[in-house]
């Protein structure tokens, strides 16, 4: 299966309800394409460096998944780990070393960092060419200005899902719930860009009548981190709903969207897990491949 899979094959509906936007499947397609590109180029050493600081269990799982998928894509996974007691100077030095290492093409510093560390000062030394997470001020500035650069992985993953599932965006209303630099803000820019041409509205914790606002949207994207926030009351019939939020409830991973209630009214919906999470990883690896190409490796 590749990203050329025909429309009729990917748009299969589950038991009469919404089309399930399968992030695992699309991630696997993207990884297969990346692997094929690396093999075709005689297997140059494309290297993603991951930096894990501290002992946040969720961060450890996310980094492990990213490393495993990088290897599956035919890349070299270089890992740097610093303990909970790492100083600001040590953390910055680790990133600077990767920034100047010619064998490293992409750098991902897993967030959030332990309390007491200044995230900006640790991310800022990552050069735009290697900023495959797209979160440094230089990359975000390029995004705002519409200049070439790496796009933040989670918002890009949402765009890829919309593209792959043929969700029309031109002239459509989109409500994004959550205004973080990581997800909501970049999404507003990407959805409003020429070529995507949606009309985005940014909702947040102070937004009034959120359900009513969302009901006016063709596309609802929730990145609040509030389990079950988006109920069927938030959707008009046939709307697309994309769940970015991740919460742990009694050891289970759940999203912002009440999936069972919403799948009967939505036209298309992402599961959680299995929707946006795998796409974040796929886009990280796509960015790394692009970085390696621009750095002349393939």
Q: Would you name the residues annotated as active-site residues?
A: 66, 110, 133
| Residues 273-292 interacting with ligand NAD (rule: CB under 6 A) | 276-277, 280
Tokens of 134: 């797209």
Compute the distance between CA of residue 33 and CA of residue 72 in angstroms, rounded to an integer: 11
The answer to whether 275 and 23 have CB atoms below 8 angstroms apart is yes
Answer for which of 129, 151, 159, 182 binds ligand NAD (CB under 6 A) is 182
User: How far, rounded to the nearest angstrom, does the alpha carbon of residue 222 sit from its chain's CA centroid?
Assistant: 13
Pattern 134-173, ligand NAD, x by CB under 6 A: --------------------x-------------------
3-state SS class at 252: strand
Residue 246 makes contact with ligand NAD by CB under 6 A: yes
**Which residues, at least 6 apart from 139, have a Cβ–Cβ distance to it below 8 Å?**
128, 131, 149, 150, 151, 152
Residue 223 makes contact with ligand NAD by CB under 6 A: yes
The alpha helices in the chain, defined as continuous H runs, are 7-10, 23-40, 57-72, 88-100, 119-123, 137-145, 153-164, 184-192, 210-215, 259-262, 276-294
Residue 245 makes contact with ligand NAD by CB under 6 A: yes
Query: Residue 266's closest CA among 195, 214, 196?
Result: 214
Answer for which of 224, 235, 262, 289 binds ligand NAD (CB under 6 A) is 224
Residue 204 makes contact with ligand NAD by CB under 6 A: yes
Answer for which of 24, 124, 180, 232 binds ligand NAD (CB under 6 A) is 180
Query: Which of these segments, 49-57, 69-77, 189-197, 238-246, binds ligand NAD (CB under 6 A)?
Result: 238-246
Give me the residues that bind ligand NAD (CB under 6 A), please. Answer: 154, 177-180, 182-184, 203-205, 207, 210, 223-226, 229, 244-247, 276-277, 280
């Amino acid at each position: 299966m590749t990203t050329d899979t025909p429309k009729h094959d990917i748009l299969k509906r589950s038991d009469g309800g919404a089309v399930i936007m399968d992030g695992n499947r699309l991630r696997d397609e993207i990884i297969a394409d990346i692997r094929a590109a690396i093999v075709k180029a005689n297997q140059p050493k494309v290297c993603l460096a991951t930096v894990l600081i501290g002992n946040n269990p969720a961060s450890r799982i996310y980094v492990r998944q990213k490393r495993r998928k990088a290897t599956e894509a035919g890349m070299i996974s270089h890992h740097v780990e610093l303990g909970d007691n790492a100083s600001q100077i040590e953390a910055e030095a680790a990133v600077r070393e990767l920034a100047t290492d010619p064998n490293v093409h992409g750098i991902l510093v897993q967030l959030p960092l332990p309390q007491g560390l200044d995230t900006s000062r640790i991310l800022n030394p990552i050069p735009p060419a290697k900023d495959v997470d797209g979160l440094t001020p230089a990359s975000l500035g390029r995004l705002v200005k519409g200049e070439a650069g790496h796009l933040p992985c989670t918002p890009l993953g949402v765009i890829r899902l919309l593209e792959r599932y043929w969700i029309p965006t031109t002239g459509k209303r989109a409500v994004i719930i959550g205004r973080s630099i990581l997800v909501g803000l970049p999404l507003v820019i990407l959805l409003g860009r020429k070529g995507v041409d949606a009309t985005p509205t940014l909702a947040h914790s102070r937004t009034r009548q959120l359900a009513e606002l969302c009901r006016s949207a063709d596309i609802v994207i929730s990145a609040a981190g509030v389990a079950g926030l988006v109920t069927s009351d938030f959707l008009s019939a046939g709307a697309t709903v994309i769940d970015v939020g991740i919460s742990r409830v009694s050891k289970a991973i759940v999203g912002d969207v009440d999936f069972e209630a919403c799948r009967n009214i939505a036209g298309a919906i992402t599961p959680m897990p299995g929707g946006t999470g795998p796409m974040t990883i796929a886009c990280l690896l796509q960015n790394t491949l692009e970085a390696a190409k621009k750095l002349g490796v393939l």
